[in-house]
């Protein structure tokens, strides 16, 4: 645009210069000067007109180009803003969802912390701790064995009440499971810092477990009523691991007393083994029943075979009788035919009354 304006200004100055020169030259020749001035003015006017039109067209094209580019830039800017808005909205939505998940997890953590505190309160009480072990024992047994294979709080002949009595066939016979949880002595052993404290806590823990083993052996192993062994259930894998790792003397004492110490994991395996044994016994019992029924069925088949043979004999005799009847009917028919022929005079009386030839009977 600045170049076009500069060209117009130069042409205007040229027009002014030509006019001045024409005026100076017109002082000697007025007519020629006027003609030249008019021609120059006309030529300059045409060029100015052409330049103005060209400038107007260029200006219009430039305006259109600028508008198109502005429209393109506006469209790209609008699309970019929309895309950015969508991404921002999606990001905010995901952020809200994650915050909701975090809030839910925080709530679960808070509830779990409260439950842990409640569990600590339960375990701190001896009676509540015993109930906790019995409930865990109940859940394990009922989840693995059929109802006919166990009994909770069963009373034995010595009036002792067992936490759980496994009803097994002989051998081995009924087995008692008693739940024990020496938590105080275990916690003292775990929190001991000095050597003296550790030694004292180890002695206390060992004494508590051995006392439980002896009590179970005396109360729940009854000759003629229960099996020759019993199970002591520890509802804590940590206590079980500590016992087998560092208190071998206690484990050997339980072996001598025939009291097998089990944890939730080992009790689960033991119960599954018992379940397999019960299934095998049941299958053997059912196999005996099946064998008895098969023998009875074979006897029925033998009687059926005899009856079929008898029926076959009756059918054969009936066939022989039918053949004899058929022979008799044939004779009667022939005699009737001869009598009819005699009445019609086709045969002689002596021939008609002649006895029929006897037929031989085929014996099968």
CA gap 364, 361 in Å, rounded: 9
User: Which pTM value belongs to this model?
Assistant: 0.47
Q: Give pLDDT, residue 128.
A: 53
For residue 175, which phi and psi values (nearest 5 degrees)?
-120, 135
Under a CB-based contact definition with an 8 Å cutoff, are residues 168 and 277 in contact? Answer: yes
Q: Give pLDDT, residue 110.
A: 64
Q: Give pLDDT, residue 268.
A: 92
The side-by-side arrangement of strands in the sheet containing 230-233 is: 150-155, 161-166, 175-179, 230-233, 259-262
Quickly tell me which residue has 């299934």 as its tokens: 279
Other beta carbons within 10 angstroms of residue 215's beta carbon come to: 16
Under a CB-based contact definition with an 8 Å cutoff, are residues 174 and 225 in contact? Answer: yes
Closest CA to 236 of 195, 275, 189: 189
- Domain chopping of the chain, boundaries: 2-68, 126-262
CA gap 176, 215 in Å, rounded: 12
User: 344: alpha, beta or left, given left = phi > 0 and alpha = psi -120 to 50?
Assistant: alpha
Q: Give pLDDT, residue 345.
A: 56
Residues 6+ apart with CB under 8 A from 266: 240
Q: Give pLDDT, residue 230.
A: 92
CA gap 272, 264 in Å, rounded: 12
User: 159: alpha, beta or left, given left = phi > 0 and alpha = psi -120 to 50?
Assistant: left
Q: Give pLDDT, residue 186.
A: 83
Under a CB-based contact definition with an 8 Å cutoff, are residues 200 and 132 in contact? Answer: no
Q: Give pLDDT, residue 262.
A: 92
Q: Give pLDDT, residue 50.
A: 77
Closest CA to 270 of 92, 103, 362, 145: 145
User: 65: alpha, beta or left, given left = phi > 0 and alpha = psi -120 to 50?
Assistant: alpha
CA distances for 125 relative to 113, 134, 293, 334, angstroms: 19, 14, 58, 117
- Burial label for 347, CB within 10 Å (0-12, 13-18, 19+), is middle
pLDDT tens string, the chain, 364 residues long: the values are: 555 555 666 666 666 665 655 555 555 455 566 677 677 667 777 777 777 777 777 778 888 888 888 888 878 887 877 887 888 888 888 888 888 888 788 777 766 655 544 444 444 555 555 566 788 888 889 988 888 889 898 888 888 888 899 988 887 889 999 988 887 888 888 888 888 888 898 999 899 899 999 999 999 998 888 888 999 998 888 888 888 888 999 999 999 999 999 999 999 999 998 888 888 777 776 666 777 777 788 788 878 878 888 888 888 888 887 887 878 787 888 877 777 776 655 555 555 445 555 444 444 4
Q: Give pLDDT, residue 364.
A: 41
């Amino acid at each position: 645009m600045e170049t076009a304006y500069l060209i117009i200004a130069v042409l205007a100055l040229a027009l002014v210069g030509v006019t001045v020169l024409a005026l100076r030259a017109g002082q000697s020749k007025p007519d020629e000067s006027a003609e030249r001035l008019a021609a120059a003015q006309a030529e300059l006017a045409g060029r100015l007109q052409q330049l103005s039109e060209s400038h107007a067209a260029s200006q219009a094209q430039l305006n259109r180009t600028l508008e198109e580019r502005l429209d393109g830039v506006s469209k790209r800017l609008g699309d970019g803003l929309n895309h950015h808005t969508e991404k921002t909205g999606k990001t905010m939505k995901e952020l809200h969802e994650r915050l909701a998940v975090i809030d839910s997890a925080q709530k679960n953590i808070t509830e779990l912390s409260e439950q842990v505190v409640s569990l600590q309160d339960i375990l701190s009480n001896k009676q509540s701790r015993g109930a906790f072990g019995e409930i865990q024992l109940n859940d394990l047994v009922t989840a693995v064995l059929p109802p006919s294979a166990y009994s909770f709080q069963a009373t034995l002949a010595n009036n002792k009440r067992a936490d759980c009595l496994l009803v097994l066939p002989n051998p081995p016979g009924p087995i008692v499971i008693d739940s024990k949880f020496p938590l105080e002595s275990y916690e003292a052993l775990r929190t001991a810092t000095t050597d003296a404290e550790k030694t004292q806590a180890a002695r206390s823990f060992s004494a508590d477990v051995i006392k439980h083993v002896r009590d179970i052996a005396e109360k729940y192993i009854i000759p003629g009523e229960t099996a020759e062994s019993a199970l002591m259930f520890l509802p804590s894998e940590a206590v079980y691991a500590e016992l087998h790792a560092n208190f071998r003397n206690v484990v050997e004492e339980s072996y001598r007393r025939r009291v097998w110490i089990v944890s939730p994991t080992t009790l689960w395996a033991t119960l599954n083994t018992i379940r397999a044994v019960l299934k095998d016994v049941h299958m053997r019992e059912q196999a005996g029943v099946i064998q008895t029924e098969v023998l009875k069925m074979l006897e029925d088949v033998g009687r059926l075979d005899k009856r079929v043979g008898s029926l076959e004999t009756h059918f054969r005799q009936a066939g022989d009788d039918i053949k004899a009847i058929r022979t008799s009917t044939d004779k009667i028919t022939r005699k009737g035919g001869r009598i009819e022929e005699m009445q019609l005079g086709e045969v002689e009386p002596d021939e008609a009354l002649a006895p029929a030839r006897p037929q031989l009977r085929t014996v099968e």
